[in-house]
Amino acid sequence: MKLNYLVNFLENWAPLTLQEEYDNCGLLVGNDEMKVSAVLVSLEVTEEVILEAIDRKANVIVSHHPVIFKAVNSLTGKTEAERCVIMAIENSIALYAIHTNLDSIYGGVSFAMGTAMGLSNMKILAPRDSNLYQLVVHVPAEHTDALSKALFQAGAGSLGNYDQCKFSTNGKGSYRPLNGSNPYLGNIGKIQLVNEERLELLVPSWSKGAVEKALFLNHPYEEVSHAWFKLTNKSSNTGFGVVGELPSALKDEELIEKMKFVYGAKTIRYIPSKDNYIKRVALCGGAGIDLLSLAIKSEADAFITSDISYHKFFDAKKVIFLADIGHYESERHTIELIADHIRSKMTNFAVLTTESITNPIITS
């Protein structure tokens, strides 16, 4: 299988348009025409991970953090990142990063973190401003099912944990074919009445092109009566962080023990909860302290993230349990998330997860 097939598959899942402005996701090293022998998944690319890929005969590394983050003016091996890029090129290993785009999708990084804690009813904590369109199209009633199917396949009709969502109403369409037309139904110069359905579907911005293509390919009319509306509602399908419920309420100490076990965190810096009672939990993988006010607003009893600076902890005092479990620890479940997603569709090469501990920080 060619690498571009894997790249397209990953970008259908976590579109590059969802990455933050500062980010550098996508294929960073390698030719997308190369054949994939095996994939190694990691949180970041280090020299150990490249050596591991060579050893385990993987020629693609899919990492969460991009190894090339800022513009590179020279490539001399003065930093580990530069040495990794040189090693990857010398060993014909492709490097692919799936970073803030994976943080932003429903079922992404923070969902993996929440699933590991056994949270239920998970919702995105900070839904993005809409990147949704509504497509309205009129179609002869007998073509509704086939057209809907094609539009769903192209990426229309997803909403949170639901897919194939649509609304339809029945009505009468009419038109008059003019000279030079080739109508699906009717005769030149005569008004034609047709039993039509008005279909309404949600379409994310990154699928708009594919959905429009599917619309024109699968609609029986020569001229397709349709309209696109850009929506301003918040998207429940994209955004950072999650909030959900623990299977049963925990005391502070119990939650700390659970986090140590689930995330492999040796030390946890935290602010205790107000009432020593935690049931509703907000989470954000990586550096998510900017979502603290949203976690409080969501009535979470606890907010778990990483990279929290000293002064930020004061904002949580006597308000919400706040814990910093470490950046690596908060994202470690992302490795299995990516690997499982690739394995769910790709069966003709091995998908390996790294055995290297790439966390540069020692906790003692």
Residues that bind Zn ion (CB under 5 A): 286
CB of 176 to Zn ion, least distance (A): 60
Whole-number minimum distance, CB 203 to Zn ion, in Å? 30
Q: Residue 276 — φ and ψ, nearest 5°?
A: 55, 40
**CB 286, min distance to Zn ion, A:** 3
Instruction: Between 173 and 241, name the residue whose CB sits nearer to Zn ion.
Output: 241
Task: Give Cβ neighbours of residue 12 (< 8 Å, ≥ 6 apart).
Answer: 155
Q: How far is the CB of 103 from Zn ion (least distance, A)?
A: 8
Phi, psi of 50 (to 5 degrees): -65, -45
Least distance between Zn ion and beta carbon 141 (Å): 50
| 20 vs 145 by CB, closer to Zn ion | 20
| Terminal alpha carbon distance of the chain | 44
Which of 273/354 has CB closer to Zn ion?
Answer: 354
Q: How far is CA 238 from the centre of its chain?
A: 7
- The residue with its CB nearest to Zn ion is 286
Nearest distance, CB of residue 99 and Zn ion, angstroms? 7
Phi, psi of 52 (to 5 degrees): -65, -40
Q: What is the DSSP annotation of 19-85?
A: S-TT---EEEES-TTSBP-EEEEESS--HHHHHHHHHTT--EEEESS-S--S--S--SS-SHHHHHH
**Which residue, 23 or 32, has its beta carbon nearer to Zn ion?**
23
CA–centroid distance for 187 within its chain: 49
How far is it between the farthest Cα atoms of the chain? 85
- Between residues 113 and 154, which has the closer beta carbon with respect to Zn ion? 113
Distance CA 41, CA 339 (A): 6
Residue among 157 and 286 whose Cβ is closer to Zn ion: 286
